[in-house]
């Protein structure tokens, strides 16, 4: 869910050196943060049962995780400027390992707050990783193919999203499922999986330390600094920032409730391990949708694809809210497919015509990922006072706004259209 980085912000010092090998190495990082992010969907119901939490308390997992994006992103950018992109990648991996390692003492002392601290540190590492890896991939080759490279890397990210819930089902719920004392042992069931992840992060960091990769140097965009324009005067950007907030919030919130939702007798009646496997279909549908959406947006105006997908997501949510059994289960899973093109489409619509302000606009949009921290909490509260099934009204509201943004809020002013025409000519 990380946005594209302005190509003008980085320089490849040795463009001919091992670019294909370097790209292959970078895709492992996209896989890693997709894998870890999706694993939260398994962790939430697990910790909910272990600590006897209500839904609002359980959604603090996503609040701490995605809250790190909002808090750490600005500092991560400054850190990369000082230490460079490769060292930034290594720092991100080590920070993730520290966060994963905290899960062991958290389970030993059985304190939920320690888990949340570990998640915040883990997510801080993911944020540093994204700030480092996105621009690195963007400049590993010709500028005209930068979008293609980022799209492929994001597809690998989706593979991680798809496999993460399977990993959680196999190692976390399998360990908890054999125990009769669920509250005590299920809390400790996360120790081995997250220690394993910590070990993988350390090994990957060591690998990047010794890999001979091209060097990227950051530099300031002088034009941007001299611009008297302000990002706050661009309505499409401001409305787009809100749209990113709602999109990420809706996608994350839906995924966070799936295990508990599928465990309900009137929906699917699955045990937690079976329900965890079904979460992979939600993220797998998004992976397939990325490829289909990439083709569609070449022949159909992106605003119409975005509006259509938002409308279908709304219909699917109302369907799952008013049905039971397999219909309710598969309709909510299908939303993943229609989520697929939303982030890149909103992002692209929002930064059109910004010219020298593109870098600042991109930063504002990336901070809007904090929606993944806020909307799950709101849906958790609604679930606590009503039901999980009715709580899907929260993402319905989000998709209504996104549909409005596609058709109305994304329209450019005459001056922005002029700027966009100048960029196209250049």
> For residue 69, what pLDDT is reported?
87
> For residue 212, what pLDDT is reported?
78
User: Where a domain ends, among 166, 195, 217?
Assistant: 217
> For residue 322, what pLDDT is reported?
97
Cα atoms in the Cβ-side hemisphere of radius 13 Å centred on 368: 24
- Shared-domain flag, residues 242 and 378: yes
Tell me: the pLDDT tens digits for 121-155? 999 999 998 888 877 776 676 655 555 676 677 78
In a domain, 9, yes or no: no
> How, if at all, do strands 10-12 and 216-218 pair?
antiparallel
- Shared-domain flag, residues 212 and 238: no
Task: Annotate 180-202 with b (16+ C-beta within 10 A) or e (fewer).
Answer: eeeeebbbbbbbebbeebbebbb
In a domain, 93, yes or no: yes
Which range of residues forms the domain containing residue 354? 226-407
- Shared-domain flag, residues 26 and 169: yes
Domain count, the chain: 2
- Shared-domain flag, residues 303 and 399: yes
Cβ 135 vs Cβ 359: under 8 Å: no
The Cα–Cα gap between 172 and 130 comes to: 27
Which CATH number do you get for residue 100?
1.20.1250.20
- Shared-domain flag, residues 72 and 202: yes
- For the chain, residues with pLDDT lower than 70 are 1-18, 138-139, 141-148, 150-151, 173-187, 216-228, 419-420, 422-426
- Shared-domain flag, residues 213 and 250: no
In a domain, 21, yes or no: yes
In a domain, 6, yes or no: no
In a domain, 417, yes or no: no
- Shared-domain flag, residues 155 and 264: no
> For residue 188, what pLDDT is reported?
82
């Amino acid at each position: 869910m990380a946005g594209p980085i302005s190509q003008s912000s980085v320089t490849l010092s040795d463009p001919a050196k091992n670019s294909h090998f370097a790209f292959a190495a970078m895709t492992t990082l996209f896989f890693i943060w997709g894998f870890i992010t999706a694993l939260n969907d398994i962790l939430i119901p697990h910790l909910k049962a272990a600590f006897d939490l209500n839904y609002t308390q359980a959604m603090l997992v996503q609040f701490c995780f995605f809250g790190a994006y909002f808090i750490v992103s600005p500092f991560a950018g400054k850190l990369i400027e000082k230490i460079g992109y490769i060292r930034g990648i290594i720092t991100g991996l080590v920070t993730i390992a520290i966060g994963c390692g905290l899960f062991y003492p958290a389970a030993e002392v059985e304190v939920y707050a320690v888990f949340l601290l570990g998640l915040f540190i883990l997510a801080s590492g993911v944020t540093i990783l994204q700030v480092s890896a996105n621009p690195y991939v963007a400049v590993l080759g010709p500028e005209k193919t930068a979008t293609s490279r980022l799209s492929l890397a994001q597809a690998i990210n989706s593979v991680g999203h798809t496999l993460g819930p399977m990993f959680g089902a196999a190692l976390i719920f399998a360990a908890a499922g054999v125990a009769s004392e669920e509250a005590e042992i299920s809390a400790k069931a996360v120790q081995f999986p997250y220690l394993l992840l910590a070990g993988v992060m350390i090994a990957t960091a060591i690998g990047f330390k010794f890999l001979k990769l091209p060097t990227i140097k950051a530099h300031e965009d002088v034009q941007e600094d001299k611009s008297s324009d302000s990002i706050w005067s661009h309505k499409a950007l401001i409305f787009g920032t809100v749209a990113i907030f709602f999109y990420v919030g809706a996608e994350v919130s839906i995924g966070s409730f799936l295990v508990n939702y599928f465990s309900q007798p009137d929906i699917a009646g699955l045990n937690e391990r079976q329900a965890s496997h079904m979460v992979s279909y939600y993220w797998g549908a998004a992976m397939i949708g990325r490829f289909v959406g990439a083709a569609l947006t070449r022949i159909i105006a992106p605003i119409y694809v975005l509006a259509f997908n938002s409308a279908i997501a709304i219909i699917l949510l109302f369907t799952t809210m008013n049905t039971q059994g397999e219909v309710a289960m598969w309709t909510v899973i299908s939303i993943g497919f229609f989520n697929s093109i939303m982030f890149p489409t909103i992002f692209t619509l929002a930064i059109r015509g910004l010219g020298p302000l593109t870098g600042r606009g991109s930063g504002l949009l990336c901070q809007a990922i904090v929606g993944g921290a806020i909307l799950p909490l709101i849906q958790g509260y609604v679930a606590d006072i009503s039901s999980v099934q009715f709580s899907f009204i929260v993402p319905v509201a989000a998709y209504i706004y996104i549909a409005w943004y596609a058709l109305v809020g994304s329209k450019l002013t005459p001056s922005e259209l002029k700027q966009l025409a100048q960029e196209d000519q250049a």
